[in-house]
Amino acid sequence: MLITQSCRFGGRVSSCILPSLFRLFSSSSSSMAKSKFEYVRNFETDDTCLRNCYIVVRLDGRNFHKFAEQHKFTKPNDDRALGLMKRSARSVMEELEDITIAYGQSDEFSFVFKRSSTWFKRRASKLMTHVASQFSSSYVFYWKEFFGEQPLLYPPGFDGRVVLYPSNHNLKDYLSWRQADCHINNLYNTVFWTLVQRGGLTTAQAEDRLKGTLAADKNEILFSEFDINYNNESALHRKGTTLIWEKRDETVVKRVKLPNEEEKDVPVTRSRRRVEAYHCDIIGEQFWEEHPDVLEEDGC
């Protein structure tokens, strides 16, 4: 007697046919997994980052001069835009906890993965694309938090690069370079827009006025002509934003049941890691002495 079994399509399938069907589909799946087209994987290049090196992913806003103009950013600095950059960077760090420190200014942010990180098997393309996509999507997601009802006219774009630094000295020099760049650019922009907004110059005239000037000359223009001491300007604008992980004690109220069946609110203190922001000098040694856990020991 031929035993049959219900088919998922409502018909009847002979039990003696089932093993043959199983072998057919197993063979088909195996051939699909290793098809004749699989050779194309050989075209992929190995982009594994060298071990025992800090991995730095730096993002820069693409064509952000136009983006800032069309969204009417305040000159020379728009605190809403800087706050949004900081919030987006925090989102990246919270998603990728192997980022030990991040530094940002203007329309750029650098993210430093610790030397021992094995995220995405240290593949540069994976790290860069994940950081860029998380940052970009966060920028759009948190836009209203900083710009209110002002509409986002079109999605922002950020390009990225990956650079390896083998020692603490190299990494600190890299971050110092970016902060020095922040100072140079912000001093120029501060003087430039002060000449335009308060001095009545056109942008072309302001540009001509600043040609060939040194930092001391720019400081003198601000102080003697506009009574502005550059050192008193916002540290956020002069120093940029540094993000690091820190342990902070948080106290929450927890309801507990006592032996006599009564319930009572009891304060409970817990230590949690959070991303904290600093607007301070990172070129000197003080910051690194105060936060020794940011860097790993050389030679590890």
Q: Is 60 annotated as a binding residue?
A: yes
Question: Concatenated DSSP letters for the chain?
Answer: ---EEE-TTSSEEETTTHHHHHHHHHHHHHHHHT-TTGGGGGG----BPPTTSEEEEEEEETTHHHHHHHTTPPSS--HHHHHHHHHHHHHHHHH-TTEEEEEEETTEEEEEE-TT--GGGGBHHHHHHHHHHHHHHHHHHTHHHHHTTS---S---EEEEEEEE-SHHHHHHHHHHHHHHHHHHHHHHHHHHHHHHTT---HHHHHHHHTT--HHHHHHHHHHHH---GGGS-HHHHH-EEEEEEEEEEEEEEEEE-TTS-EEEEEEEEEEEEEEEE-S--SSSHHHHH-TTSSPPTT-
Separation between Cα atoms, residue 101 and residue 294, nearest integer Å: 7
Separation between Cα atoms, residue 194 and residue 6, nearest integer Å: 83
Q: Is 200 annotated as a binding residue?
A: no
Q: Is 117 annotated as a binding residue?
A: no
Q: Is 62 annotated as a binding residue?
A: yes
Phi, psi of 267 (to 5 degrees): -75, 135
Q: Is 64 annotated as a binding residue?
A: yes
Q: Is 25 annotated as a binding residue?
A: no
Q: Is 158 annotated as a binding residue?
A: no
Residue among 168, 170, 140 at smallest CA distance from 153: 140
Q: Is 227 annotated as a binding residue?
A: no
Q: Give binding residues for Mg(2+) as ranges.
A: 60-61, 107
Q: Give binding residues for GTP as ranges.
A: 60-65, 106-107
Q: Give binding residues as ranges.
A: 60-65, 106-107
